[in-house]
Structure 1
Amino acid sequence: MDVLLPFAAALVSLRLAAELLRKSRRRRAPELVAWGASLASFAAASGALAWGAAAGWDDRAFRVYYLFGGLLTAALLGAGSLLRARVSLAAPVVLVYVGLAIGVAIAVPIEPSITGTAIPSAADHLELVPARVLALVGNVSGTLAAVTVALVGLRRRPVGNGLVIAGVAAAAIGSALAGLGAGGGSVFTIVASTLLYAGFVSRR
């Protein structure tokens, strides 16, 4: 199950991401691009979980997992919400952040090298600066932006914004359950991706 559930989460998230990106081409909505990229990051992180569970964790799998799960998912989610709220500055800021995150994920030293089948803890292998601080900034700011925009619009679009808030909560629970293994957290990833997608579509 520690392989199958992350793989299923990757497939579900990737399918929903592709649907959002398809809609973005038709509607020319930049928020759908950011939201689609966020769900695609969910998919990539889940794929890394399946990789680690099936073949054992190594530095490569961890870099993929940390980049997409630790650095990008929440930041892209928040950027999409800000773009939906017509905060145009969100686009250049998130592009700079994504470039910085990719550079950090590729270049940051991992010490000691990662082995085994348990999900690695970033605190055990990465220095606080820059990798863990950058993840903290991206996750806090992205989550705060997504929840704030949803709360502000809750009265006007209660269903869509309520689904987004529920999706953010499910993602947070899944992240907290990562210590229980890849399977447990992946169930919440599937739930979070589905709720977020439904919320994004309902808010249009």
Structure 2
Amino acid sequence: MAGLFALAGVFVAGAFAMRLLRQFHERRRPHALAWGGSLLLYAVGMAALTAGLWLGWSSPAYAVYWFTGALVTVPLLAVGELHLLAPTYSRWWWAVASAVMMVAVAAVVVSRFDAAALSSATADGGIPLGADVLAGQPAYAALQPLTLTGTVIVVVGTVWSAVRRRRPAVLLIALGVVIAASSSAFVRNDLDALVPVALTSGVAIMYAGFRATVANRGPLSARAGTHPT
């Protein structure tokens, strides 16, 4: 069942990513490109999670899962939020995105993955804990600075946008991010079956918030190209 939830997350995140990238193609909004890239990586991470649950965990599968899900998805969402909050600094935000990607790639490439922890999770049909697989490794050390900072920016930024623009539907995006982030707590507490549920539910709620916000803009806002938050 957990694998099915993870697979569903692939399609939800993929659909969300395509919607955002199409918006970027039509309106050239930088935040849509950052968010679209983030959700595309989210879909890749869910695919790696599906493969790990159904086929077993290998170092390459966990590397993809960790890189996309733990290290870069939330920071890229934060970059998109920064584009909305301070669009005049767009070049700086893209520089931040590039730096995050380079740090994350380097951290994963130089890290060693504990084969015993991966094998144990495979035997149990669960999800390996990052602290076990990457204990003392750069890929684990990068988790808190990247993800915690990104989560704060996204949540605070979306709440502020919802209040300032009087669009309560935007709060669903923040709620979705928080729910998806709760998946790490489930892994730490041996509630692996709830991880795909949280990840898929989180991205589905984010997508619902995005769609509701766009739908509520009205024809005048749509013609003006007003962004969704």
Give the structure-2-normalised TM-score: 0.81
Equivalence for 1:195: 205
Could you list the runs of 5+ residues in structure 2 that have no partner in the other structure? 214-227
1:72 is displaced (CA, Å) by: 0.9
Match among 120, 131, 142 for residue 123 of structure 1: 131
The question of whether the paired residues in 1 share the 8 Å contact of 2:177 and 2:203 is answered with no
Q: Distance in 2 between matches of 1:13 and 1:100?
A: 24
1:17-36 superposed matches below 5 A = 17-36=17-36
Q: Is this contact kept in 2: 1:6–1:49, CA < 8 A?
A: yes
Share of identical aligned residues, percent?
30
Report which stretch shifted further, 159-168 or 55-64. 159-168
**Alignment-derived partner of residue 98 in structure 1:** 101
Between the aligned partners of 1:199 and 1:32, the Cα distance in structure 2 is: 15
Deviations 1:93-129 (A, max 9, x none): 1111112212222331113452223211111121435
Q: Residue 158 in 1 paired to residue 158 in 2? A: no
Number of residue pairs the alignment of both structures matches: 203
In our comparison, the structure showing a higher alpha carbon Rg is 2
CA contact (8 A) 1:42 1:189 kept: no
Q: Please state if 1:185 is matched with 2:195.
A: yes
Q: Match for 1:16: what amino acid? A: F
Confirm or deny: 8 A CA contact 1:42 1:73 kept in the other structure: yes
Contact kept, 8 Å, 1:57 with 1:118, in 2: the verdict is no
Alignment-derived partner of residue 77 in structure 1: 77
Please name the residue that 1:139 is paired with: 147
The structure whose RCO (Cα within 8 Å, separation 6+) is larger is: 1
State whether structure 2 residue 13 is matched by structure 1 residue 13. Answer: yes
Q: Which runs of 5+ in 1 are unaligned?
A: none
Q: TM-score if structure 1 supplies the norm length? A: 0.90
- Code of the residue aligned with 2:30 in structure 1: it is P
Mapped to 2, the partners of 1:132 and 1:53 lie a distance apart of 21
